[in-house]
């Protein structure tokens, strides 16, 4: 595939591997972005839209979107800050997956108990920029300068082994489940930031003619994300109990209320958070709702 075949197409960067890759493919399928990626090729054309998907390391995507020719992309919020691209890209939408925390970790059985204890010592990380900013504030607090300042050293992988192998007194690394951290005998003593996957676009549009398509794709992806977070709840309730019920189920905007043939009763249809649906149904029963039904969403527009 050559550059000429990409002319006029919107370029959409997607993580080529790692913790965000599989979820991104599910997101593209839900947004009806149809493509076939040939083996070993990192660029492929979308069949049903003038889009080319570009598969890149997540850490490179902010730079390609912010300063290159790529129009939109999916990466981590932490990666944008680490690449110092926050002024060059706009976060269009938080995607609700890839959630984790960038945390300061030290050996659980070691002498360092707080982040203040780590100031002026050795810290290993693959997030040099974020770690540097975080510990520079501590160094300033304790007036540590020159050779007494906290030493930040970069390693590209196996950060969690740095303490055990004598390279560091503490590390800064991403924590998702915490299993790797605990297996290495580490525990977190501070959180630098919370992060998740985000849809981004360039702060300076590459091609104004792409804006309508960017808006369509963003809307579709927002719908897929909402469908994963919400379910539809339908129930019947006496009209005089409706105010109490709508307090429990306010909906994203407002519930849909329809009169029923049985005098004094109304039917309510409303979106509720999937993770809270069991408690919401219990509360509705207590209020006096009947015929409570839950429907999963395959897709939606919000």
Residues 25-34: pLDDT tens digits? 999 999 999 9
Provide the CA 208 distance to its chain's centre, in angstroms: 27
Q: Which helix (H) or strand (E) holds 10?
A: strand 10-15
3 confidence band (pLDDT: 50, 70, 90)? very low
Of the CATH numbers 3.40.50.720, 3.90.470.20, 3.30.70.120, 1.10.10.10, which one belongs to the domain with range 230-296? 3.30.70.120
| Average pLDDT taken over every residue of the chain | 92
List, for residues 196-212, the tens digit of each pLDDT value: 999 999 998 888 899 99
Q: Could you tell me the CA-to-CA distances from 81 to 17, 84, 98 in Å, in that order?
A: 20, 5, 16
Tell which wins on pLDDT, 63 or 298.
63
CATH architecture of 3-97+197-206: 3-Layer(aba) Sandwich (3.40)
List, for residues 282-300, the tens digit of each pLDDT value: 999 999 999 999 999 988 8
Cβ atoms within 10 A of the Cβ of 169, count?
21
CB-based contact 72:206 (threshold 8 Å): no
Would you say residue 66 has pLDDT above 90? yes
Would you say residue 7 has pLDDT above 90? no
Would you say residue 222 has pLDDT above 70? yes
CA angle, 75 as apex, 44 and 183 as ends, to 5°? 115
List, for residues 100-148, the tens digit of each pLDDT value: 999 999 999 989 999 999 999 999 999 999 999 999 999 999 998 888 8
Tell which wins on pLDDT, 176 or 268.
268
pLDDT score at 205: 85
User: 174: Cβ–Cβ under 8 A, 6 or more apart, which residues?
Assistant: 78, 100, 101, 102, 103, 195
List, for residues 246-279, the tens digit of each pLDDT value: 999 999 888 999 999 888 999 999 999 999 999 9
Cβ atoms within 10 A of the Cβ of 261, count?
5
pLDDT score at 172: 96
pLDDT score at 2: 47
> Which residue, among 171, 195, 190, 235, has the nearest Cα to 80 in the 3D structure?
195
Fold of 100-195: D-Maltodextrin-Binding Protein; domain 2 (3.40.190)
Would you say residue 221 has pLDDT above 90? yes
Matching fold, domains 3-97+197-206 and 100-195 = yes
pLDDT score at 41: 82
User: 286: Cβ–Cβ under 8 A, 6 or more apart, which residues?
Assistant: none
Mean pLDDT value across residues 87-106: 95
Domain boundaries, the chain: 3-97+197-206, 100-195, 230-296
């Amino acid at each position: 595939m050559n550059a000429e075949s990409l002319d006029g197409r919107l370029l959409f960067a997607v993580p080529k591997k790692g913790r965000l890759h599989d979820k991104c493919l599910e997101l593209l399928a839900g947004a009806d972005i149809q493509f076939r990626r040939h083996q070993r090729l990192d660029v492929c054309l979308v069949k049903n839209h003038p889009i080319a998907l570009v598969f890149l390391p997540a850490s490179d995507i902010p730079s390609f979107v912010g300063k290159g020719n790529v129009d939109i992309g999916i990466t981590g919020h932490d990666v944008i800050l680490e690449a110092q691209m926050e002024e060059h890209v706009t976060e269009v939408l938080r995607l609700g997956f890839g959630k984790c925390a960038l945390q300061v970790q030290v050996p659980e059985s070691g002498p360092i108990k707080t982040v203040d204890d780590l100031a002026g010592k050795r810290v290993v990380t693959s997030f040099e920029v974020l770690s540097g900013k975080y510990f520079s504030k501590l160094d300033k607090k304790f007036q540590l300068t020159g050779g007494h300042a906290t030493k930040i050293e970069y390693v590209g992988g196996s950060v969690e082994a740095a303490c055990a192998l004598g390279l560091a007194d503490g590390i800064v690394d991403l924590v998702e489940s915490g299993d790797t951290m605990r297996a290495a005998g580490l525990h977190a003593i501070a959180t630098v930031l919370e992060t998740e996957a985000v849809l981004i676009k360039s702060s300076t549009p590459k091609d104004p003619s792409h804006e309508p398509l960017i808006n369509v794709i963003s809307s579709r992806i927002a719908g897929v994300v909402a469908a994963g977070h919400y379910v539809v709840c339908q129930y019947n309730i006496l009209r005089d109990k409706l105010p109490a019920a709508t307090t429990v189920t306010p909906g994203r905007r407002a519930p849909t209320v329809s009169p029923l043939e049985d005098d004094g009763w109304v039917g309510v249809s409303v979106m509720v958070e999937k993770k809270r649906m069991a408690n919401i149904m219990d509360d509705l029963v207590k209020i006096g709702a009947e015929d409570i039904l839950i429907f999963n969403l395959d897709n939606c527009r919000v």
